[in-house]
Structure 1
């Protein structure tokens, strides 16, 4: 499958997931999440420690990133919805492995990381409109002879537990009978360190996260990203399913950002310009994502 057509499928899936969440039947008064937020005057945002530039820690160990800034815009819209402009934000650390449970168990209200919105997960949680499209690739040492997944036959690959990349690697292992030793680590930082320490031959995760980790560690002369895309992953902000009022607030936030032409500048802030931590990814927006952002501008009610 070509990348452009696969991404187009991803865009359609993400839009379908978001639309499905919004189409549920509402009830009088505030939804459970919004009611709890109004009572506590607090919105709990789940963040990741090592998913630059989506969600990571700055030099003062404060959560920052593209996904968090989108979530903070949603918090402003929630404030309008519940008539409380002074909502406080609590930042709650989550991992790849526990992020869905954190939503389901009411530990966080919005998950602001690098989470793929797919049909399997949409059975349990809801997602915002599309905010990014990535895909599984491999990070290997610069001197490695690996240029694609079939070069890994019999080798060790590290993945981050609870990710779609873990599923993708098991699928290609079976498909090509590679006999891989697939190790799952708790987070992206530990996966990176396993590769850096020589405990794995490759680290498999979304390409944008691999680039972000290489830049963050100033390791451009040590590692490279290689191989064909092994999966196609549309990202979204995750929240509890079955709350049409909350879904409407999230969708309205994205429409307002789209109608205000704020989404592309926000993207450029985190993917093209220098990050607050000093690094620069320099990953221009894809045509497909730019078109998805423009479509939000054209959505019904975008200029309300």
Structure 2
């Protein structure tokens, strides 16, 4: 009788083991497997990382990288998954990751120590520096010419903190915060702000897409080095390994550089502008030695 009970118990345990989640240590992979879908957060105007194309569908460098990651996730789960897209902005992208609405954000998001307390990042996929974009007709020569004037930065972006620090150091700036990059750019071009601070590549994208790119100019000053990465749930080591291993493979094979060149050094949709933004030495170093470290 005891033997029969033991056999019965073993059978129950075996069934329970088979029924246990295959990725119990990864809340993200479990959610993707359960939904048979992954939800991708994208930006609507972060050229060339993530933005809307002519058909109003999201495209960009970060999304091309993530297409390769989806292949890795499908291989790991052993099934095809649907792709759901959710637009995000600087203010809601982290909360949407934290509450599970978005599985991964594929925009142009800076990795820093403060954000690492809330979310996790992939190895660096880009290196940028904040700069000022101005109207060429205003004949501003440098940051000193902005003293006491109204400038704009996008709410929730790193640029807000940089601008506030510069203001506190004696520039006495009136800092307006727009809801997204498109609104910040409109404030600049409409004359409501004399300068727009943001990461150089995002500004280069907005400038290239403008009706008259020559009407916009960069001030010479550049600030801290900023590392971009794909963003996802904090402390999900298994999901991070899938993301990072895929990106490291692309970097080692040369495919990452080919994807980079497609979006940064060649004409891109929807208007065939060329950002003419060759890979810098800092990013080349991260391609050779992938890392999510920040300075």
In the TM superposition, residue 161 of structure 1 has moved relative to its aligned partner by 0.3
Unaligned runs of 5+ in 2: 1-21
Contact map agreement 1:259 1:296 (CA 8 A) in 2? no
Q: Which residue matches 1:59?
A: 54
Matched, 1:248 2:208: no
Matched, 1:212 2:205: yes
Q: Which residue matches 2:13?
A: none
Q: Which residue matches 1:141?
A: 135
Q: Which residue matches 1:196?
A: 189
Matched, 1:114 2:101: no
Give, in whole Å, the separation in 2 of the partners of 1:33 and 1:256.
Answer: 21
Q: Which moved more, 1:121-130 or 1:28-37?
A: 28-37
Matched, 1:226 2:193: no
Q: Which residue matches 2:37?
A: 42
In the TM superposition, residue 296 of structure 1 has moved relative to its aligned partner by 4.2
Give, in whole Å, the separation in 2 of the partners of 1:148 and 1:99.
Answer: 32
Q: Which residue matches 2:96?
A: 102
Contact map agreement 1:211 1:225 (CA 8 A) in 2? no
Unaligned runs of 5+ in 1: 1-26, 298-304
Q: Over the residues paired in the alignment, what is the CA RMSD in angstroms?
A: 1.5
Matched, 1:154 2:148: yes
Distance 1:207 1:142, change over 3 A: same
TM-score (norm 1): 0.85
The count of aligned residue pairs is: 269
Q: Which residue matches 1:282?
A: 276
In the TM superposition, residue 77 of structure 1 has moved relative to its aligned partner by 1.1
In the TM superposition, residue 151 of structure 1 has moved relative to its aligned partner by 1.3
Give, in whole Å, the separation in 1 of the partners of 2:126 and 2:61.
Answer: 10
Distance 1:262 1:156, change over 3 A: same
In the TM superposition, residue 238 of structure 1 has moved relative to its aligned partner by 0.3
TM-score (norm 2): 0.88
Aligned with 1:227: secondary structure?
Answer: strand
User: Cα deviation per residue 1:121-172 (whole Å; 9 max; x = unaligned)?
Assistant: 1011000001011111011111223232221111000100000000000001
Q: Which residue matches 1:260?
A: 253
Give, in whole Å, the separation in 1 of the partners of 2:100 and 2:231.
Answer: 12
In the TM superposition, residue 28 of structure 1 has moved relative to its aligned partner by 6.5
Q: Which moved more, 1:159-168 or 1:278-287?
A: 278-287
Give, in whole Å, the separation in 2 of the partners of 1:145 and 1:231.
Answer: 25
In the TM superposition, residue 290 of structure 1 has moved relative to its aligned partner by 1.8
Q: Which moved more, 1:71-80 or 1:33-42?
A: 71-80
Q: Which residue matches 2:74?
A: 79
Distance 1:296 1:232, change over 3 A: closer
Distance 1:181 1:288, change over 3 A: same
Q: Which residue matches 1:236?
A: 229
Give, in whole Å, the separation in 2 of the partners of 1:47 and 1:116.
Answer: 14
Contact map agreement 1:71 1:110 (CA 8 A) in 2? no
Aligned with 1:133: secondary structure?
Answer: strand
In the TM superposition, residue 30 of structure 1 has moved relative to its aligned partner by 4.9
